[in-house]
Structure 1
Amino acid sequence: MARTTLGDSVADQLLERIIEGIYAVGTALPAEASIGEELNVSRLTVREAMKSLRAKNVVEARRGSGTFVNPPSIWTSLEAVVQAMSAGGAAETSIQLLEVRRMIEVGSAQLAAGRRTEADLLAMAGHLSTMRGAHAGGDLDGFVAADLAFHDVILKATGNIMVAALYDPLDRLLARGRRETSAVADIQAHAIAMHEDILTALAAGNPEASRDAMEAHMVQTRDDLLHYVLDGNS
């Protein structure tokens, strides 16, 4: 695990202020000396933090003008984007997160069909059983945890370590989004049925059927999100 330096800590604090709108997009950050005085750190530490933020394209230095905040749409750090999305509008975040899930998980299911092990199938069956029990018992947290775990098995079953690594920064958003949608009993019932189809296709080792089952799950999830959650909040 990488060690966190004081410069990293200052960069995180500045990023939080940018996301909170204290330093708005398009505006210049305070001078390094001012930031250092406010945060009780040296100018060298502030300079290290600025370098980190520039590397992520969160800010850009303009010769003779200062350091300006870039819009999140051009940031190059997934962690920073996820943090900004977490603080953004729920509707936009939910839709965009689902689009990312759809792109990754449909392909992952297809790949996992030819690589999953019996242990993977048993693990997914166990998580699906937990989802059924949590649904029947009104255990929202238990349902969400089992849902996330089911999908995590599929990602790891691809045998491609980069697939699971792509999801790591999304954990917080995934948990929040799943809890938001899974609070609706009908959505839980739909999810259970879709997970059953996915497990059946994976157990058969059929890549096309697994892909189609996951695609259907993503479409159903989007429809449920729009109908039960976002419409209700509009």
Structure 2
Amino acid sequence: MMAIALNKISATEAVVESLKERIRNCEFGPGEKLPSEQSLLKEYDVSRLTLREALAKLAAWGVINVRHGKGAFVSERISIVALDNVLIPMFPGQNTERMNELVEARNMIESEIAAKVAECRTDEDIVALEALLVYDNKKIINAKHFADRDYAFHLALARMAGNEFILSMYQALHSQIRTFLIQYAKSIENWEEALERHSPILDAIVSQDISSARHLARQHAGICASFIHSDKGDSI
């Protein structure tokens, strides 16, 4: 019998969290069938109603597919919601270690996205990115406004990279990145400096300089690392 903590969360949530963890750890891979209902009931020592509620929640997130008469299977195509709820860890605002992990994840993803776009960009892509830079130059109202502009530019790059899984991963990261930017980017100078760094990234993409695009995007994302450790939180 598998022990699950029921003191702080409901039995349903405990089963959900346990199955999420097992999927995250690849105990059950994409397309694989979960243990039978009877097996799961024995493992978790919960009622049939509790188990079915847990499976229904995972199915609603797109983590699993429940096939009538056949059982529950891990989704082969993980949705954005599934990524956000299963594959992407939570990053509490006051947890420096987790925030460093978020910066590292953003760094790796955005730099390779920029490199890919530099390799395969079209004339239409350039026009779209140039339009976003014009938007960047408009007055910024607040940190949320800034975070949305920064995200719009990098989301456009993610779409242009032509890899739907990478796009889904970036979209799943967005809520965490946006929270980070709103929390730590507190001044107009921060916002303007960060957005100004979009321009050289675009220049590298236009010239199809893959190495420079990768380096500049990594530099842009990496600025956040020093920002976490700023006592005043007044630079990005």
TM-score range normalised by the length of the shorter chain:
0.5 to 0.7
Distance 1:131 1:11 in 2: 48
Residue pairs, 1:140-219, within 5 angstroms: 140-219=143-222
Deviation (angstroms), 1:83 = 7.4
**For 1:65-94, what per-residue CA distance to the aligned partner results, in whole angstroms no more than 9, with x for missing partners?**
xxxxxxxxxxxx743357762456343332
Aligned to 1:113: 118
Conservation of the 8 A alpha-carbon contact between 2:114 and 2:157: yes
Q: Which has the higher contact order (CA 8 A, sep 6+)?
A: 2
Aligned to 1:130: 135
AA of the residue aligned to 1:140: A
Using a 3 Å threshold, how does the CA distance of structure 1 residues 51 and 182 change in structure 2: closer, same or farther? Answer: same
Query: Per residue, is there more helix in 1 or in 2?
Result: 1
Aligned-residue sequence identity (percent) comes to: 20
Conservation of the 8 A alpha-carbon contact between 2:103 and 2:222: no
Give TM-score scaled by structure 2 length.
0.62
Aligned to 1:57: none
**For 1:121-179, what per-residue CA distance to the aligned partner results, in whole angstroms no more than 9, with x for missing partners?**
222222222232133xx343322211101001111111122210112322211221122
Using a 3 Å threshold, how does the CA distance of structure 1 residues 141 and 129 change in structure 2: closer, same or farther? Answer: farther
Q: CA RMSD in A?
A: 3.5
Distance 2:95 2:135 in 1: 28
User: Number of paired residues?
Assistant: 179
Conservation of the 8 A alpha-carbon contact between 1:187 and 1:224: no
Conservation of the 8 A alpha-carbon contact between 2:186 and 2:233: no
Distance 1:216 1:79 in 2: 25
AA of the residue aligned to 1:134: K
1:225 paired residue among 212, 224, 228: 228
Conservation of the 8 A alpha-carbon contact between 2:121 and 2:205: yes
**For 1:190-224, what per-residue CA distance to the aligned partner results, in whole angstroms no more than 9, with x for missing partners?**
21231111111111111111111112212223223
Unaligned ranges ≥5, structure 1: 1-9, 19-29, 33-42, 55-76
Residue pairs, 1:34-45, within 5 angstroms: 43-45=47-49
Distance 1:16 1:186 in 2: 44
Using a 3 Å threshold, how does the CA distance of structure 1 residues 88 and 217 change in structure 2: closer, same or farther? Answer: closer
AA of the residue aligned to 1:146: R
Distance 2:97 2:133 in 1: 29
AA of the residue aligned to 1:163: I
Conservation of the 8 A alpha-carbon contact between 1:130 and 1:143: no
**For 1:44-75, what per-residue CA distance to the aligned partner results, in whole angstroms no more than 9, with x for missing partners?**
23123566899xxxxxxxxxxxxxxxxxxxxx
Using a 3 Å threshold, how does the CA distance of structure 1 residues 15 and 86 change in structure 2: closer, same or farther? Answer: farther
Distance 1:195 1:12 in 2: 45
Conservation of the 8 A alpha-carbon contact between 2:125 and 2:160: yes
Aligned to 1:38: none
Distance 2:110 2:167 in 1: 10
